[in-house]
Amino acid sequence: MLQTCSLLWIGALPFAGLGQQKYFQHQSAVSGHTALQGISSVLTYYDLSPIDKLLSDSLACFHGGCTLILMQNGKVLLEKSYGSMSPDTSIPIASASKWLSAALLMTFVDEGKVSLSDSIGKYLRYLSGTKAAITIRQLFSHTSGFAAEIPIMRDTRLPMKHVVYAICQERLKYTPGTAFAYGGASMQIGGRIVEIVGGKAWEQLFQERIAQPLGMEHTTFYGAGVTPNPLVAGGAWSSARDYVRFLQMIANKGIWKGKRILSEKAIAEMMQNQAGAVPVLKQYQQSHAHYALVDKQQANYGIGVWRISAQSASLPFDMLIEVSSQGRMGFTPWYDVQRNLIGVLATYTPLKKIQATYRALKAMIRHAIPPIQQPFTIIPRTPLLSTATTLSKQSVVRKR
């Protein structure tokens, strides 16, 4: 059964010259769900009915259903739930946790208490040699040299301090900074450094600095129970509405309801290619990754986020199109910078099962909502390889 949570379809009206009927959409409190606080109602002429039909027809693919929220320029374009899901249903979000964790780290970078260029030996005094020289940037961009998955990182009984010490005893799989292996072990080390700098447990710091200021009442790293070792790269629980608040802050360059959560510089750092054009070592990374990037041979990753961009070997920058942090159980938040569009598809369904639906969904969104600006230009940290897509000079627009 299809359940409408916060969207009322008023009907179809013909518009001269448009060649099709466009649907008025009006954000409304339906089925007892309240509208997003701080977000205005909106009327728009985007035809999103094919998206509604796609998710309705694909409901059997989703375990328990799903919720989709789309926002542009601070206005809700669509908020709808299917099956037993609601916009406030808190579920495990797996790797979508990485974006939240990166934001927490960047609050300390903003305060000057830590730098992405700091070596981890500065905080973990038991390290020496190559391991001590690994940077915090490398931890959060999966280029640290550690294997992506080290079993003890998921031990919920031990304190994070002890878990990280054990991780650091593992042999490096490659020279730090020379390759990319997507996973969670290195970010767990980074989480411990955040605890050291912040002087508190990870969850407490996250609540004080990210969740509470953004009003994310359904978001926590204790969703599966209180633990001294929350999984930094994949242990958060959240809801569609909560994560949309976080994405609004990202799209607003660090500001939420007039309050600065992160600096504009921090947002830019998160979305920059921090990994560089290094090769992807699939044998050392988790078996799942972002659907659009899983077959890529070169890294394109920021601080806690995947990047989709058009690249050129002849130009000193790449063109950022989208950033996202997709989880292996289907929870997918993204920010389309071309359209100034943020979106969350909330579900708890294995990614492989819904991958075809998700690909179709993103294609429909891009067809229905045209770009409103050229992609942002981001200066890469390392030269892009010659295999990158060639862009004509006429297509390049300078960053505003």
**pLDDT tens for each residue of 187-202:** 999 999 999 999 999 9
pLDDT tens-digit map of 365-392: 999 999 986 544 444 444 333 323 322 3
Task: Name the burial class of residue 330, with classes exposed (0-12), middle (13-18) and buried (19+) by CB atoms within 10 angstroms of its CB.
Answer: buried
pLDDT mean over 96-101: 98
Question: How do 376-378 and 318-324 pair as beta strands?
Answer: antiparallel
Task: Name the burial class of residue 196, with classes exposed (0-12), middle (13-18) and buried (19+) by CB atoms within 10 angstroms of its CB.
Answer: middle
pLDDT tens-digit map of 324-366: 999 999 999 999 999 999 999 999 999 999 999 999 999 999 9
What whole-number distance in Å separates Cα of residue 257 and Cα of residue 37? Answer: 10
pLDDT at residue 140 is higher than 80: yes
| Domains in the chain: ranges and CATH | 7-83 (no CATH), 91-304 (3.40.710.10)
- The DSSP code for 151 is G
Report pLDDT for 74. Answer: 92
pLDDT at residue 280 is higher than 50: yes
Report pLDDT for 282. Answer: 74
CA angle 126, 275, 389 (to 5 degrees): 170
pLDDT at residue 87 is higher than 70: yes
Strands (E), the chain: 7-14, 21-27, 65-72, 75-83, 91-92, 237-238, 255-256, 259-260, 306-310, 318-324, 332-336, 341-346, 376-378
Percent of the chain predicted with pLDDT > 90: 73
What whole-number distance in Å separates Cα of residue 358 and Cα of residue 369? Answer: 16
205 three-state secondary structure: helix
pLDDT tens-digit map of 15-68: 222 322 233 333 333 222 333 433 333 445 799 999 999 999 999 999 999 999
Report pLDDT for 208. Answer: 98
